């Protein structure tokens, strides 16, 4: 709920330490009546205050501009120093303590206080003489300014960006001003054409295979093209491995094998490979052999074969330990 003029504040006097009440409207009047000058407009001292919209008593510090000569100041205007006449451009200030007006004679209708603001194009004013709004008109082309004869001068709307001047897709915003960096990029292209008329102006890639293997920067002028190096998650160039890299098992884009290396590896493999080993045959001692697959290393099965002690018969009996009888 908003405060009302009759709402009360409780204050304590620092003189006698007693509590007192204070109405809101009295507080507002006290604040507004403090020392200071408040320009209220212009008045005609030939007529009573009410005819100029002035209600007495006025607020302390209210200032008015005398809008016309007054050979005889109307009696409703009580002058502190008993002045009887005023001149256009003079000012009067209300003195709240004595309830009268202080006349400040300027001797010039335009001295001391600003009474109006007029803008000189491209600066413009809304024409309000008390609280004028000042603005700077935006710069325009000759065609746009032809309708009002106010000329083309003014402030720029904004600075252009690369998206505004990009070939074909640029916004071409007519209110954006091109900056030196954007102009230089165009000049580089023009300079390249001057050095090599009819030559290539820009270099780009459509990246049709979506591999981003080419790096082109800049795309115009002194163009630099780089082919990226391949990586685990990126397309690019590789280097064929040499013999030492193959022997060492070097990894990475600098150690890629070609068809000849792959053929050499294949040729080194036996024509036939043992897929499995089992115990079997005719007239054998079943269970004499123990065959176990111990591990798989680099995709190759490791197999061990042994003779069970229960079926083993040594060739050299003299190597056996003596029996205890």
- Domain carrying residue 179: 159-191
Domain boundary residue among 266, 295, 316?
266
User: 111 in a domain, yes or no?
Assistant: no
Residue 169 and residue 149 in one domain: no
Is 35's pLDDT higher than 60?
no
d(CA 81, CA 103): 8
Residue 87 and residue 124 in one domain: no
Residue pair 224/208 in contact by the 8 Å Cβ criterion: no
User: 238 in a domain, yes or no?
Assistant: yes
User: 25 in a domain, yes or no?
Assistant: no
How far from each other are the two terminal CA atoms of the chain, in whole angstroms?
121
Q: Exposed e or buried b for every residue in 34-73, given b needs 16+ CB within 10 A?
A: eeeeebbebbbbbeebeebebeeebebbbbbbbbeebeeb
Residue 80 and residue 136 in one domain: no
Q: Which residue has the higher pLDDT, 162 or 296?
A: 162
Residue 51 and residue 90 in one domain: yes
User: 7 in a domain, yes or no?
Assistant: no
Q: What is the mean pLDDT of residues 132-142?
A: 84
The pLDDT score that the predictor gives to residue 318 is 67
User: 280 in a domain, yes or no?
Assistant: no
Q: Which residue has the higher pLDDT, 269 or 42?
A: 42
Q: What is the mean pLDDT of residues 164-179?
A: 87
Return the closest-CA partner of residue 277 out of 311, 296, 304: 304
Is 313's pLDDT higher than 90?
no
**Across all residues in the chain, what is the average pLDDT?**
81
**273: Cβ contacts below 8 Å, ≥ 6 apart:** none
Q: Tokens at residue 323, please?
A: 């029996």
User: 78 in a domain, yes or no?
Assistant: yes
Residue 150 and residue 99 in one domain: no
The radius of gyration of the chain from alpha carbons, rounded to an integer in Å, stands at 52
User: 150 in a domain, yes or no?
Assistant: yes
Q: What is the mean pLDDT of residues 72-76?
A: 94
**283: Cβ contacts below 8 Å, ≥ 6 apart:** none
Model confidence over 181-194: pLDDT tens digits? 888 888 877 777 77
Name residue, tokens 């094998």. 257
Q: Which residue has the higher pLDDT, 14 or 94?
A: 94
With 0.85 as the threshold, say if the pTM is over it: no
Number of domains making up the chain: 4
Residue 122 and residue 137 in one domain: yes
User: 283 in a domain, yes or no?
Assistant: no
Residue 176 and residue 120 in one domain: no
Provide φ and ψ at 31, rounded to 5°: -65, -45
Model confidence over 199-251: pLDDT tens digits? 666 788 888 888 888 888 887 767 788 888 888 888 888 888 888 888 888 88
């Amino acid at each position: 709920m908003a405060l009302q003029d009759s709402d009360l504040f409780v204050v304590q006097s620092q003189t006698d330490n007693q509590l007192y009440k204070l109405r809101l409207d009295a507080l507002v009047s006290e604040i507004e009546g403090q020392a200071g000058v408040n320009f209220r407009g212009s008045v005609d001292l030939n007529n009573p205050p009410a005819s100029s919209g002035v209600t007495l008593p006025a607020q302390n510090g209210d200032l008015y501009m005398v809008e016309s000569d007054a050979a005889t100041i109307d009696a409703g205007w009580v002058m502190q120093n008993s002045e009887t006449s005023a001149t256009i451009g003079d000012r009067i200030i209300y003195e709240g303590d004595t309830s009268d007006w202080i006349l400040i004679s300027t001797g010039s209708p335009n001295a001391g206080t600003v009474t109006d603001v007029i803008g000189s194009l491209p600066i413009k004013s809304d024409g309000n003489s008390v609280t004028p709004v000042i603005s700077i008109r935006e710069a325009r082309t000759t065609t746009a300014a032809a309708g009002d004869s106010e000329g083309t001068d003014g402030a720029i709307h904004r600075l252009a960006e690369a998206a505004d001047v990009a070939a074909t897709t640029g916004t071409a915003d007519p209110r954006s001003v091109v900056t030196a960096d954007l102009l230089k990029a165009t000049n580089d292209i023009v300079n390249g054409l001057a050095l090599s008329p009819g030559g290539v102006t820009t270099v780009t890639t459509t990246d049709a295979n979506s591999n981003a293997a080419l790096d082109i920067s800049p795309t115009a002028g002194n163009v630099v093209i780089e082919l990226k190096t391949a990586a685990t998650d990126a397309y690019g160039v590789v280097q064929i491995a040499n013999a030492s890299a193959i022997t060492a098992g070097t990894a990475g884009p600098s150690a890629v094998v070609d068809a000849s290396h792959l053929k050499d590896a294949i040729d080194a493999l036996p024509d036939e490979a043992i897929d499995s080993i089992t115990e079997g045959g005719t007239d054998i001692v079943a269970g004499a052999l123990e065959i176990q697959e111990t591990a798989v290393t680099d995709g190759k099965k490791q197999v061990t074969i042994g003779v069970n002690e229960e079926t083993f018969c040594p060739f050299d009996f003299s190597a056996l330990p003596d029996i205890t009888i």
